[in-house]
Amino acid sequence: MAHFPQMAHPPHPSQAALSQDALKTLVGQAALHYVVPGDIVGVGTGSTVNQFIDALAGIKDQIKGAVSSSVASTERLQALGIAVFDCAQVPELSVYIDGADEIDHQGYMIKGGGAALTREKIVAAQSRRFVCIADESKLVQTLGKFPLPLEVIPMAAPRIIGQFAAIGAQAVVRLKNGTPLVTDNGQHILDVTGLQIADPLAFETRVSQWPGVVTVGVFAYQKAQVCLLGTAQGVKTIHFSNCSDLLAVRAEPVEALPMGHQALRQAQGERDTTV
């Protein structure tokens, strides 16, 4: 954990009116507490992370640099004078700080809205701690309302779309300027709706085995250990257990929804017999 003085985040009477961007700024600044002086920091991708990168520039002389999960973050870091190391040069990172499109009460996440999920998962896997920074709208009971991103090899996309259709979900190729978006790795992104992911670990395990899937946007094996959540009352810190099915702090239980069970059974190849 960082040795920087911990930032205080007292409630403020006007915070109820804070915009989503203002909440992102708060959690981006709060994440500095988890930066270890003299270390290389793992840095994610997205609008919330951009606020963290801007805050990190203020202590850039106290760190060696960063490992970045995307071209966009690399460019932002370098523009602010922060050295960026290749992931292969750094066997282990003390902390990885990134946002989420959704995070549940166990620390499981959906990520990939910025199309950087593969590199994000790689950097997260090399880090001892994952600190998720998000505003309170991202905290959900069950993953799946946000379209689930998958990075896929283009020739496999039609078949994978069909596999999701078979379990009642809808997958579409993400477009940019009317043509398929190409990731930093030269692949395409599918966005999947109609899912309620009651068992993220099992879902990630199974879908990752589908031929042509590069990365599933469910982060269950690379879950968060800490979430800094921007709320109307200030920054709320939630600590998750390292155990996959227990919480050190739990606001309320996660309930498995029937559709999640159905999607999971069918993803595992079981025949649904309900009418």
**Three-class SS state of 251:** coil
Distance, in Å, from the CA atom of 68 to the CA atom of 211, rounded to the nearest integer, reads 28
- The angle at the Cα of 70, spanning 68 to 85, to the nearest 5 degrees, equals 30
Distance, in Å, from the CA atom of 161 to the CA atom of 190, rounded to the nearest integer, reads 8
Q: Are 119 and 84 in contact (CB under 8 A)?
A: no
Burial track 192-224 (b if 16+ CB lie within 10 A, e otherwise): bebbbbbbbbbbbbbbeebebbbbbbbbbbbbb
Distance, in Å, from the CA atom of 131 to the CA atom of 88, rounded to the nearest integer, reads 21
Catalytic annotation, pick one of 75, 92, 102, 120 = 120
Beta strands in 18-80 (DSSP E): 40-43, 65-68
Q: Measured in whole angstroms, how far is the alpha carbon of residue 117 from the centre of its chain?
A: 8
Residue 139: Cβ within 10 Å count: 19
Q: Is 270 a catalytic residue?
A: no
C-alpha dihedral over 171, 173, 178, 179, to 10 degrees?
A: -170
List active site positions. Answer: 120
